[in-house]
Chain A
Amino acid sequence: MSQKETHSISVALAAATCTLLGSGISATVDAQEEPAWDFNTSLLYYGEDGDRVKDFSVSAIARRMFIDDRYLTLGLTIDGLTGATPSGAIRQDVAQTFTRPSGNAAYSVAAGVLPLDDTFKDTRLALTAGWQQPVGDTSQVSVGASASKEYDYLHLGVNAKFARDFNQRNTTVSAGIALSMDSLDPVGGAPAPFSPMLDVGDTSNRLGDQDKDVLDIVLGVSQVISRDLVVQANYSYSKSDGYLTDPYKVLSLVDGTSGDTLLRSIAPGVDGPSHQFLFESRPGERTKHSIFGQAKYYMNGKVLDASYRYMSDDWEIDSHTVDLRYRIPFGANRYLEPHLRFYTQTDAEFYRLSIPDSLPLPGHASADYRLGNFDAITAGLKYGWRTHNDNEMSVRIEGYRQTGSVPADQLIGNQVSRDNFPDLNAIIVQFGYRF
């Protein structure tokens, strides 16, 4: 029997019951079981190609339902990160030596190879807790707290959200706020902005612990247009203050004509950088505005979920994200969900491939590829099914490809012929189990 035929049974039954009992039925059923915990667990693998970042993550969200639509949600995530990440320095035709972020040792990168910092290894533990409950008949309030700890990073956050239904619950307006107070204690201490990478053992450019505060505000409205269509729109504002620099990222100081990184003289018997590298410097503030729109369209059991986000910040990064998911059920217990995501961003106003010695030092500069000009596409497939004991399982496999470019006016001399923004490919595999 097809979905359509079975669904028509409940509709016909409701109509026949209405005829039998007359118009005296006004109540819509509101029943829930209590008490109940449900658990949503997942294992996630994210792997970039080559020797780059691999992340293995385990997460569990437990939700306890109480009477009167009140919920307690507790979350736990453990991430294990390994692999190498671009340091920000550019390729050279000769081998390059760098001091490790700890300041305790040095490592070398062969000629023609993109300098990667391979000391990137971390374990992150994140905890969240939230409470949600109705207020009166038409409103809901939720509050939450979050904390996460990495070797060099501590995040503490609180959040609250209020939502109110209007128009026979067809319209929901919501407002949310989140505050986070983060502190950084980078390996070897945070380097002073634009200070040079020093010899092994020299910590004279290191600063103490750093702080960062973030305020997020989200205003949203969701509207039921018809039985089959629900749309949602959000505006969000995010303001970050404090140490926004990546303490492990550097820029190459280059000759203004050849574009090659300047050599550095090292005293005999000392280990240290072969070339001149400066630690990056970002502004101490960042304000982002974003607009998000989403439509969910139900088509006879199939669900199309399409969303678009525009983000613009005062670092002059503008980004566009289009996300499409299409859930196709087959049988009563299985579904397939293809997923496509397109992303594009412009580079930050202070993004630089390198710093030429012929010009005065800019106010801020970063060679972090994540602040560069790039496009990304994610394509994947999720397969979900219901087990015989009514639990849900899913497997998701996605590929991610990022291609970027350095603005032509930033390329100097020999840099023109080099691959300055290598492509990034990653694979994502996720296994989910809900019970």
Chain B
Amino acid sequence: MPSSYSLVIASSQGQKRREIRLELAEDAWHGRFQAMGSPCELVCEAKKRHEALELTELVAGEAWRIEDKFSRYRAGNVVHRINTAGGRAVEVDDETADLLDFAVTLYNLSERRFDITSGVLRRAWHFDGGDRVPSENIVSDVLRLVGWHRADWRRPFLQMPSGMEIDLGGIGKEYAVDRCAGLLREQGSSACLVNFGGDLAVSRAPEGRRSWKVAVEGDAEGEPAHLIDLKQGALATSGDARRYLLKDGIRYSHILDPMTGWPVPDAPRSITIAADTCVEAGMMSTLAMLKGAQAEPFLRAQDVVFWCRR
């Protein structure tokens, strides 16, 4: 068997071309594809190419399903229906309702700072490393459309004032990672690592090496990456290595406080968390980011494994 082998399969899904690239490197198969705006990868210890391909297809299929269903950029999906309901109630399916219930829990746990209706703030803020800090007026205009307390959620019906939108982007990727890891475990497949743009979970510990080695990217200033051994569980990173604004010497993080419409002051540059599931890791890192200067004390009080960059 060649040490590096690459296979491309392509399929047409709507207008978007989707492909899986399979490669053998360092004794493991790497199935790569693009989903949810991120490079995604399944690393598996499968012996045979066809097995690795089947597993990658399984994972990519689930990632694309979740992307199609919950992306706010796709017309016709449930999020699109909610965001264009014009004040009418929308009935949602069980999976969507589960995600909304979960979002409500986070909204309450974060004292209203984790808010799936805050996505519209992106109309005011463009975190591209530039210096376009919006005016107070623009921010307060958009802020009138933010606030989960304005939504009326009675499972399975969601009704929001016209113009308000939800964005499940803050949960979707982590949810997809855990769903995929769960499918792989159900399959009883070889040891796999599901990695969607740096948020990742293990299906089980690899046989040979006993742990997955994961490099957590350093920040823009060339700080060396952390190398983490992951045997079980998941890792997720919230960070703004590239997503920030810099004006008059002030760095504005991309973590917005929906209460003020402005970036959370003194938020760490990035927080990586290890937890049982990618959803917990991702949500905990977001909750910590929202704590700003108090992120580290908050995380220590949770007794979680974390790596914080300032």
B232/A33 in contact, CB under 8 A: no
B202/A21 in contact, CB under 8 A: no
Partner of A24, one of B182, B275, B284: B182
A17/B280 in contact, CB under 8 A: yes
Measured CB to CB, the nearest residue on chain B to A5 is B301
B229/A32 in contact, CB under 8 A: yes
Given A16-B106, A67-B211, A31:B231 Cβ within 8 A: yes
Measured CB to CB, the nearest residue on chain B to A25 is B277
> Which residues from A are CB-within-8-Å of B24?
none
Which of A6-14, A49-57, A338-346, A425-433 faces chain B? A6-14
B296/A390 in contact, CB under 8 A: yes
B284/A10 in contact, CB under 8 A: yes
Partner of B102, one of A7, A16, A29, A35: A16
Measured CB to CB, the nearest residue on chain B to A8 is B109
> Which residues from A are CB-within-8-Å of B213?
67
The 3 closest A-B pairs by CB, nearest first: A29-B233, A332-B297, A31-B274
Is A20 interfacial (CB 8 A cutoff)?
yes
Is A270 interfacial (CB 8 A cutoff)?
no
A17-53 vs B, Cβ < 8 Å mask (1 yes, 0 no) = 1011110111111111111000000000000000000
B227/A35 in contact, CB under 8 A: yes
How many angstroms between the C-alpha atoms of A378 and B287 in the bound complex? 44
Is B150 interfacial (CB 8 A cutoff)?
no
How many angstroms between the C-alpha atoms of A213 and B101 in the bound complex? 68
B279/A33 in contact, CB under 8 A: no
B304/A31 in contact, CB under 8 A: no
B287-309 vs A, Cβ < 8 Å mask (1 yes, 0 no) = 10000000011101111110110
> Which residues from A are CB-within-8-Å of B98?
19-20
A20/B102 in contact, CB under 8 A: yes
Measured CB to CB, the nearest residue on chain B to A10 is B302
> Which residues from B are CB-within-8-Å of A17?
102, 178, 276-277, 279-280, 283
| Residue of A3, A19, A22, A33 contacting most chain B CB atoms (<10 Å) | A33
Nearest CB in chain B: distance from A29 CB, A: 3
B233/A9 in contact, CB under 8 A: no
Measured CB to CB, the nearest residue on chain B to A15 is B105
Partner of A19, one of B102, B274, B308: B102
Residues of B within 8 A of A (CB): 98-99, 101-102, 105-106, 109, 175, 178-179, 182, 185-186, 202, 204-205, 210-211, 213, 226-235, 274-277, 279-280, 283-284, 287, 296-298, 300-305, 307-308
> Which residues from A are CB-within-8-Å of B279?
17, 20-21
> Which residues from A are CB-within-8-Å of B227?
33-35
Is A360 interfacial (CB 8 A cutoff)?
no
Measured CB to CB, the nearest residue on chain B to A6 is B301
| Residue of A19, A20, A21, A68 contacting most chain B CB atoms (<10 Å) | A20
> Which residues from B are CB-within-8-Å of A331?
297
Nearest CB in chain A: distance from B165 CB, A: 21
Is A170 interfacial (CB 8 A cutoff)?
no
> Which residues from B are CB-within-8-Å of A34?
227-229
Is A104 interfacial (CB 8 A cutoff)?
no
Nearest CB in chain A: distance from B172 CB, A: 12
Partner of A67, one of B210, B284, B297: B210
Is A403 interfacial (CB 8 A cutoff)?
no
Nearest CB in chain A: distance from B86 CB, A: 29
Measured CB to CB, the nearest residue on chain A to B305 is A31
> Which residues from A are CB-within-8-Å of B235?
31
A27/B304 in contact, CB under 8 A: no
Is A138 interfacial (CB 8 A cutoff)?
no
A25/B276 in contact, CB under 8 A: yes
Given A16-B106, A21-B279, A27:B233 Cβ within 8 A: yes
Measured CB to CB, the nearest residue on chain B to A4 is B301
Known: A9-B109, A21-B178. 20 other contacts (CB 8 A): A9-B302, A10-B284, A10-B302, A13-B105, A17-B279, A19-B101, A25-B276, A25-B277, A26-B185, A27-B276, A29-B233, A30-B231, A31-B230, A33-B226, A33-B228, A33-B229, A68-B229, A332-B296, A332-B301, A333-B297
Measured CB to CB, the nearest residue on chain A to B216 is A33
B233/A13 in contact, CB under 8 A: no
Q: List 8 A-B contacts (CB under 8 A).
A: A1-B298, A16-B105, A19-B102, A29-B274, A29-B275, A30-B230, A31-B228, A33-B226
How many angstroms between the C-alpha atoms of A6 and B296 in the bound complex? 12
How many angstroms between the C-alpha atoms of A332 and B295 in the bound complex? 11
Given A29-B276, A29-B305, A13:B284 Cβ within 8 A: yes
Given A28-B232, A32-B228, A13:B109 Cβ within 8 A: yes
Partner of A31, one of B229, B283, B298: B229
B109/A12 in contact, CB under 8 A: yes
B303/A20 in contact, CB under 8 A: no
Measured CB to CB, the nearest residue on chain A to B201 is A27
> Which residues from B are CB-within-8-Å of A10?
280, 284, 302-304
